[in-house]
Amino acid sequence: MPSVQTSHPYLDATRSPAERADDLLGRLNLQDKAGLLFHDMAMVSEVAALDTPWYRGRPSIRSTVEDLKVRHFNIMGPLGPLPEYVAWFNELQRTAMASGPGIPISFSTDPRHAFTNNVGTSHAAEAFSAWPESLGLAALRDGDVVRRFADAVRIEYRAAGIVTALHPQIDLATEPRWSRAGMTFGEDADLTSQMVRAYLAGLHGDGAFGTQSVSSVVKHFPGGGPQLDGEDPHFPYGKEQVYPSGAFDLHLQPFIAAIAAGARQMMPYYGMPVGTEYPEVAFGFNGPLITGLLREQLGFDGIVLSDWGLLTDAVIMGQYVPAHDWGLTDQTPSSRAALALDAGIDQFGGEYDATLVVDLVESGRISEERLDRSARRLLAEKFALGLFEDPFIDADRLAAVLADGERSRAGLRAQSEALVPLTGGRTLLGTEGVERECPRLLWRAMDGTRPADQDGVTFVDDAADADLVVLRLAAPYEERPGGFEKLFHAGSLEFPPSVVDEVRAAASGSRLLLVVALDRAAVLTPLVELPDALWVDFGASDQAVLDAVLDRVVPRGKLPFDLPRSDAAVAASPTDAPFATESPLFRFGHGREAMVTLPCTMSLRRAR
């Protein structure tokens, strides 16, 4: 419990978050304030491991809380067994509440409700309800579904003690090769603006933002889509954002919509703008952009959280990743911190060494008043979220929330509905032949899985015995070296000849449904004529695809971006402009009426 008397105004829940923050701020020492400005990472572990450094060069989590006074942590990786997670979580909160003024920890996470599993960007759903990726939500064009999705996220996060969502990502995917396109809402600014409004409504919950809400970190201001050659600024070769068609303001449009919808936090990206009115330095150090544009022109008064690793070099999955200070030279972690604070950053993501800021204040490089501005915002958010009144989580409640199947069923249905049928007619299965109860399917998934045996279908192992072959493929990419770098799917959008040959062989003599999972755009030109029907998905389990194949759920998705005809067409198009590739194979908004299969009692046979 807090080591202060309950008579202090900051513990009075009837006061406004701003009043409580002002009162508590006056009671903090310099280390307390500096610790608030650091948003470190944490891996769930046994309670006993809290005293052991979890990553090279870092102090233990407990000492980070007690000594450095860090009070924000991003949960990395899986939660693991729920009892162990609850014990770990509550022990960390007890440590925080017993240390100094008793400020509780705010826990955050990257997305955890879909299929992408990249330690740097997103985690697979696991115990949480599984929904389509953001591209799939955009494919549905349905703000009500997006709001229900985000409401499910809110309910499940809060039960798990997570109060900050490091999402949504509202960059415009105008560069089809960009590896982060899969977590956007596509390339249309109007659709993305519609989606973010619904998303924030779900995260914030009914009524005003409050103790049952989840704080949203909208990213990546001012729009991370127009990456030179589609490369990503996690890495030095992807540091440049370019605007050959002058569409800088178009990429701002969704962020303006997010601010109007009550976005609580903003995250600038790593990249540096090239050829604009702004300095050619990384966005996190770009004062005219953060303070001038975001705060003064657009009126954003929330928290500005830097992307991860702005200050210090790191080794991630065995790969050296330098601090993301693109456009600056010969900077130390201390000078980077000073420049970012000068620019308007409130909090450093993925960093733990709060002594950097203590030293800057003690040396006179940064004023304590500047530190107070950011600390006040961060404290007010904790008060608004109700953390001082209810910092702990309950194992029984968490288990009950995650066991409630309503959200999982809604997520599964959304996965099926978000499928986009690109080609094919109404019926893939013919009506001639012998009577039998169920259609026979040969299921070939990219990961070797298939749906569980169930009424309504018989799975076979030979195409000659199948009424329909269902072949699932992943979108192509060029694998990059390095443990961390290889997680980012970048480079060519074209399938290698071996995959085209595989699809051609599968289509020979069998009715074929080809389903391609798109984590970014793909060039489908050599495949489009081969199957009887071609669908794309944006995060769908085998069961979700099967439900659509059996007409249990009718797919209604529409493409959230153009699908280009070739890599050459992409290379020739301006990086920042939507719908700019020449003669795309399929246009934004394309989606046919899905096939309808026949009931189990009807005659089913391959129609050659």
CATH code, domain with 129: 3.20.20.300
Assigned token pair, 191: 């659709």
Q: Is residue 428 located within the same domain as residue 373?
A: no
Q: For residues 44 and 500, what is the distance between their CA atoms, to the nearest angstrom? A: 42
Q: Is residue 326 located within the same domain as residue 225?
A: yes
Domain residue limits at 484: 419-571
Q: For residues 303 and 321, what is the distance between their CA atoms, to the nearest angstrom? A: 26
Q: How confident is the model at residue 604 (pLDDT cuts 50, 70, 90)?
A: very low
Q: For residues 337 and 360, what is the distance between their CA atoms, to the nearest angstrom? A: 9
The total number of structural domains that make up the chain: 2
Q: Is residue 484 located within the same domain as residue 338?
A: no
Q: Is residue 302 located within the same domain as residue 436?
A: no
pLDDT of residue 597: 53
Longest dimension (CA), the chain: 86
Q: Is residue 347 located within the same domain as residue 470?
A: no
pLDDT of residue 510: 84
Q: Is residue 24 located within the same domain as residue 165?
A: yes
Quick check: is 580 in a domain?
no
Q: Is residue 425 located within the same domain as residue 564?
A: yes
* CATH of residue 508: 3.40.50.1700
From edge to edge, which strands make up the β-sheet containing 440-444? 420-423, 533-537, 512-517, 468-474, 440-444, 458-459
Q: For residues 276 and 256, what is the distance between their CA atoms, to the nearest angstrom? A: 19
Q: Is residue 397 located within the same domain as residue 514?
A: no
Quick check: is 582 in a domain?
no
Quick check: is 588 in a domain?
no
pLDDT of residue 38: 98
For residue 164, give the 3-state DSSP assignment.
Answer: strand
Range from 178-187, 294-303, 449-458, 591-600 carrying the lowest mean pLDDT: 591-600
Q: Is residue 389 located within the same domain as residue 466?
A: no
Quick check: is 597 in a domain?
no
pLDDT of residue 447: 85
Exposure b/e, 569-607, CB count within 10 A at least 16 = b: bbeebbbbbbebbeebbbebebbbebbebbeeeeebbbe
- What is the four-CA torsion angle of 237, 238, 240, 243, rounded to 10 degrees? 130
**Percent of the chain at pLDDT exceeding 70:** 94
Please give the average per-residue pLDDT across 202-207, as a whole number: 93
Assigned token pair, 571: 């290379």
Quick check: is 592 in a domain?
no
The yes-or-no verdict on residue 302 having pLDDT over 60 is yes
Q: Is residue 161 located within the same domain as residue 247?
A: yes
For residue 513, give the 3-state DSSP assignment.
Answer: strand
Quick check: is 311 in a domain?
yes
Quick check: is 590 in a domain?
no
AA letter at 158: R
pLDDT of residue 427: 57
pLDDT of residue 592: 85
Q: Is residue 297 located within the same domain as residue 434?
A: no
Q: Is residue 387 located within the same domain as residue 427?
A: no
Quick check: is 600 in a domain?
no
Please give the average per-residue pLDDT across 148-158, as a whole number: 98
Q: Which residues belong to the active site?
A: 307
Q: Is residue 110 within 8 Å of 165, Cβ to Cβ?
A: no
Range from 455-459, 533-537, 601-605 carrying the lowest mean pLDDT: 601-605
